[in-house]
Amino acid sequence: MRARYFVPAFAAAAVLLLTGCVDNSTPAATTPGAAATIEADAAAVALLPATIKSAGVLIIGTDAAYPPNEFKNDAGAPIGWGIELSDGIAAKLGLTTKYQIASFDNIIPSITGGTVDMGESSFTDNLEREKQVDFVNYYNAGILWASPAGTTVDPDNACGLTVAVQSGTVEYTDELPAKNDACLAAGKDKIEILPYGSQDEATNAVILGKAAALSADSPVTLYAISKSGGKLQPAGESFDTAPYGITVNKGSELTKAVQAALQSMVDDGSYGKILDKWGVTDGGIDTITINAASNG
């Protein structure tokens, strides 16, 4: 997840204006977009669980608050390159999509509870999450910090700083707590971790001076910088590269079907076209895997 990003004109003020609310209890449909040109793959369709195949619909959980991966347009529908990949998966499986927009922390419980079929919300595949769900890995992402333009912030020497982050992300659950523990163990001031419900809010906190920096996945940070009007800059280089994964219920037949659908997208070039459109090709992969955290 690197480089520059193409962003629709209506999202130009996303960093400074918070996205609107939607009813999280109602699945939201999206326009077909890139998926309109993607044809079904017979081998992938053959792997579908019978219940999903007969329903003809793939219900997908997403937080839609992490631009440019997945976020909302001005009508409240989910968009972003992760959403376009999910639309492509459904097209390869001969299905239509319905998106269940929910808080990040509620997506995996919704999968294990059977109310959604899969999750697409920039999930980092790690061993703890693999205890609950399976991951179909589709991308490699790093962590990148941003700070106000003209300031110097070192992510490896952040003791005493206030850092904004979206709650539920790996940066919030793993990276920042580990850095804070190291500060305390060294007898230094703690890192004040400011969690927010959306990435827009975390970004605004830095722009408004409430935090010295933000931490997010590298494409998300670069997107925020590009939309900040020169108010933000990268703080150091990206680090801790890890795989993103589509989340599917543990042991589900759908896992293999999604893997086959994504691999078909890689092979026919539709995967690459989506990543290129959004300027995130650097994190793309050639082979779609399952549970890379434990099998990689």
CB 34 within 8 A of CB 277: yes
Strands (E), 156-276: 162-166, 192-196, 213-217, 232-249
Burial readout 131-169 (b: 16 or more C-beta within 10 A, e: otherwise): eebbbbbbbbbbbbbbbbeeeebebeebeebbbbbbbbb
Give the mean pLDDT per block of 10 residues along the chain (296 residues): 27 33 40 70 98 97 94 95 98 97 95 97 94 97 96 97 94 97 98 95 98 95 91 94 96 98 98 90 93 90
Burial class (CB in 10 A: 0-12, 13-18, 19+), 17: exposed
Supply the pLDDT for residue 3.
24
Supply the pLDDT for residue 128.
93
Other beta carbons within 10 Å of 21: 9
Of 235, 249, 284, nearest to 132 (Cα)?
Answer: 249
CB 122 within 8 A of CB 141: yes
d(CA 293, CA 296): 6
Supply the pLDDT for residue 226.
86
Supply the pLDDT for residue 17.
33
HSE-CB at 11 with a 13 A cutoff on CA atoms is 23
Domains of the chain, first to last: 9-140+244-295 (3.40.190.10), 142-240 (3.40.190.10)
